[in-house]
Amino acid sequence: MNIVQRNNVRITGQGEKVIVFAHGFGCDQNVWRHVMKPFESNYKLILFDFVGCGNSDLSAYDSERYASLDGYAKDILEIFEVLNLKNIIFVGHSVAGMIGIRAAIKCPDYFDKLIFVAPSPCYINDGEYTGGMERADLEALLAIMDSNYLGWSSALAPQVMANADRPELGEELTANFCATDPDIAREFARVTFLSDSREDLPKITIPSLTLQCSDDILAPLTIGEYMHKNIPLNTLYIMKATGHCPHLSEPEETIELLGKYIGLN
């Protein structure tokens, strides 16, 4: 199988250092378009679509392989191998951050830094841990998704994006959700929202950054604090940005904080 075609891999920019941008659930690589340009002069940029998303090869989707985040992490490592990448700065939005963690635990030598944008290791409240949702509420949300995916997307996307004064942002996220194959999206959603990566956090040996949005219905402020406390060598920035997609809603702030962390010059 051609891995580059499978994941619709795109390479841009110049420089020896590599930044890999990984999108979250319901999106594709296009969501990074607002933050790429300042990094293109000094870095080689790698973008891709997870299988089932964007312009990936839908025929490569395998429900068994992608029944856990490990299948997506394996895809990432295969991309790194085929492109002969090293010293990678991995930028993962939302669930892609957890996928990156699994890849980094398995093969840490590929990575230089990990950057998590609006991440969550577990979306479900559990004792003293505040993930943001009760399991029963999440199961109900997934049930609605199973019965009416397009309606679910139209209702949820604007809430996830927030920024009600800019409805075009919610409309873009809705369009992204609705462009994804519904059957694949439903399976990816369950993997995303029911996964628990908390035990992985202390295993990370690579320096990392957590970008925590100040008001995010999917990842409350306590998540950023939990990530920072439980990941060795982690830096935490609390963003002014609200919602779950700061790379779309506040690209300037996202660029500033990414650049500050990696030493963009």
Enumerate the active-site residues.
94, 216, 244
Instruction: Give the CA angle between residues 103, 19, 246 to the nearest 5°.
Output: 90
Helix axes 135-147, 149-161, angle to 10 degrees: 130
User: What's the token pair of residue 207?
Assistant: 């320096």
Q: Which of 39, 86, 56, 74 is nearest to 251 (CA)?
A: 39
Distance CA 31, CA 141 (A): 24
Residue 182 makes CB contacts below 8 A (sequence gap 6+) with 149, 150
The residues near 148 (Cβ < 8 Å, ≥ 6 apart) are none
